[in-house]
Amino acid sequence: MNYVTHLECANCAARYDAAKVHNLCTACQRPLVVRYDLVALKQKFSKKALFGRPPTIWRYLELLPVRDPAKIVSLTETITPILETKQLASHFGVQHLYLKDESRLPTGSFKARGMAMAVSMAHGFGLKRVACPTAGNAGGAMAAYAARAGMEAYVFMPEDTPIINQKECFLAGAKTFLVNGLITDCGRIVGEGRAKKGWFDLSTLKEPYRIEGKKTMGLELAEQFDWELPDVILYPTGGGTGLIGMWKAFQELEALGWLKSPKRPRMISCQSTGCAPIAEAFKKGDRFAKKFEPAVTIASGIRVPAAVGDFMILDAVRASGGIALATPEADIPKWMQFAGSREGVALCPETAVCLGALEVLLQDGKIKPTERIVIFNTGAAQKYPEAVREQLPRLDCTQPIDWASI
């Protein structure tokens, strides 16, 4: 049974019919979010209903917008593991540090959650052609799910997007274009092409359903922690759907009475000094962020100089008692290598900024060493060869080995 009641503008609260196709709010051009009949859900949907269901994001179907399960487009979006990182915890001087590893998902990143949901909904509405701008992983995920659904896909990405992201879009059959600009320029092209090419715009927060897919990160996290949420969540922030989605999940779980405590995590929005519009807006006390220029960071997934959901990110951070901050761009490769060498986990460059943020917040006393801390690894490090430029030493196998140098 589907419990969706309507769509609602996150800014002006205008209501829209969820049975129809929508992009942004027509009144104020801000994102729409899905609303559910949580009173009915509380009466008819209990935690016990999850027992025995497959360990995928679709186990939470009653809390998702899909009307016809037969229209779900899936590559088996598994529940991602939570790793306790004891050596990293020891380094930072904290007791409980966890990593939720989204790199295990199809196409190697958390973008699979959002695109699985968005493409499933588009498929349910009978749409045949989709398009999106991407800084990397979103394009690959959309291309894969569109191929799975038999849809025509168009992807527009900055020309310096990691080469693996470029190739995965091509291999999945998407018509892929490199743009001499940033993701915002790519987004403008997608917007202009809606009327000319007839595609549906799957840009971040420009349709209501990617956030519902990302919401499953929060649902999973709550279930994995036995319905008692951690104290702090550090999350790398570009477009912000993951952070916004988790905050929405926690609100809905509280309304259902599933959480053992009403205390929610402090949400820490982590950015690089190379592109920090949310961190700058938080520091100034602003609700809307100014476009960040120049936006230059090797963490391509958070190179978003202007996010349409900026106010939603900042609202969630502030409501949680959290912080938005940026840490040095130059430290990203260091933290990637540090985490790998201590724990054997391959952090993407976006997540590396979270380690820098954790160091700062512990030093400032904003995070206590006794708190339960969760960091989200949003993608596979192997998709970012350009982020690590270290030159490895070479050996000449035709000559005697200089063992003193090894």
CB 69 within 8 A of CB 96: no
Q: Please, what is the Cα angle at 296 between 203 and 161, to 5 degrees?
A: 55
- Sign, CA torsion 211/217/219/222: negative
The residue length of the chain stands at 406
CATH of domain 82-108+209-387: 3.40.50.1100
**Could you give the CA distance from residue 233 to residue 239 in angstroms, rounded to a whole number?**
17
Q: In this predicted structure, what is the pLDDT of residue 305?
A: 96
Q: Which of 32, 43, 57 is nearest to 1 (CA)?
A: 43
Q: How far is CA 349 from the centre of its chain?
A: 13
For position 390, what pLDDT does the model report?
78
**For the chain, domain boundaries:** 82-108+209-387
Three-state DSSP at 78 gives strand
- pLDDT (0 to 100) of residue 391: 80
- Give the DSSP H/E element, type plus range, for residue 224: helix 210-224
User: Could you tell me the two tokens for 339?
Assistant: 């985490």
CA pair distance 238, 289, nearest whole angstrom = 12
Residue 373 in contact with residue 99, Cβ under 8 Å?
no
What pLDDT tens digit does each residue of the chain (406 aa) get? 899 999 999 999 999 999 999 999 999 999 999 999 999 999 999 999 999 999 999 999 999 999 999 999 999 999 999 999 999 999 999 999 999 999 999 999 999 999 999 999 999 999 999 999 998 899 999 999 999 999 999 999 999 999 999 999 999 999 999 999 999 999 999 999 999 999 999 999 999 999 999 999 999 999 999 999 999 999 999 999 999 999 999 999 999 999 999 999 999 999 999 999 999 999 999 999 999 999 999 999 999 999 999 999 999 999 999 999 999 999 999 999 999 999 999 999 999 999 999 999 999 999 999 999 999 999 999 999 888 887 888 899 999 999 988 9
